[in-house]
Amino acid sequence: MADGIERIRVLLVDDHALVRLGFRRLLEDDPEIEVVGDAADGVEAVELALRLKPDVVVMDYAIPAQNGAMATRILRERLPSARVLILSMHSEPSYVENSRAAGAGGYLLKNAMDLELVAAVKAVRAGEWVQDARLEQAAASTAKRPLSKRELEVLQHIVGGRSNKEIAATLALSVNTVAVHRANIMDALQIRNTAELVVYAIRHGLVSIP
């Protein structure tokens, strides 16, 4: 930079323009942070990140096209240098687990942002895991493991109403492999039937709603 300060480059992702504007003003009040762009959905977030190469992506969980965890997984695979801070209204441990398993560097509740966002961005950039203190006890108590990338892909198709055969054709897998993934998903989430699985997946933000 011309003033000699090497700022933390931030990309904002939220589907509400006023929210993005508020975040921008809050972050740019700090001379060490520069907001280089903003996106309204998960697909645009990945595209912009690949072009702008931010240091930190501040990403709402509940964004269109693909949720924040899905976008984070793709972004971290394609741009490993970028760190991701997830913001969410959801305090359920599954949301935190999904975000961390996807490669996020932090998870904050939105109603805590006015005090924590700037510090969280700096901590995430430094490689620390940042988590809202109110979530720590709940997250530690859960027994359910995060789903793998492939399991999340299979789950998305299950929620979309596809059969094992249709999922196998789409993902270039054998029908038996899909059946194993389905069983493993249900075992990991401690769920016994498909109807319950679909409700759980949507309610806990594991998939994008078809």
Q: Are residues 113 and 195 in the same domain?
A: no
pLDDT-derived band of residue 4, with 50, 70 and 90 as boundaries?
A: low
* Domain co-membership, 97 together with 183: no
Two structure tokens written together for 34:
């520069």
Residue 132 sits in the same domain as residue 156 = no
Tell me if 193 is assigned to some domain: yes
Q: What is the pTM of this model?
A: 0.67
In CATH, what number is assigned to the domain containing residue 185?
1.10.10.10
Q: Please identify, among 122, 141, 160, the residue that sits at the C-terminal boundary of a domain.
A: 141
pLDDT digits (tens, 9 = 90+) for 112-169: 545 578 889 999 999 988 888 767 544 444 446 778 889 989 999 999 889 999 999 9
Q: Are residues 161 and 136 in the same domain?
A: no
Where does the pLDDT of residue 61 fall: very low under 50, low under 70, confident under 90, or very high at 90 and above?
very high
Domain containing residue 187: 149-203
Beta carbons of 108 and 85 less than 8 angstroms apart: yes
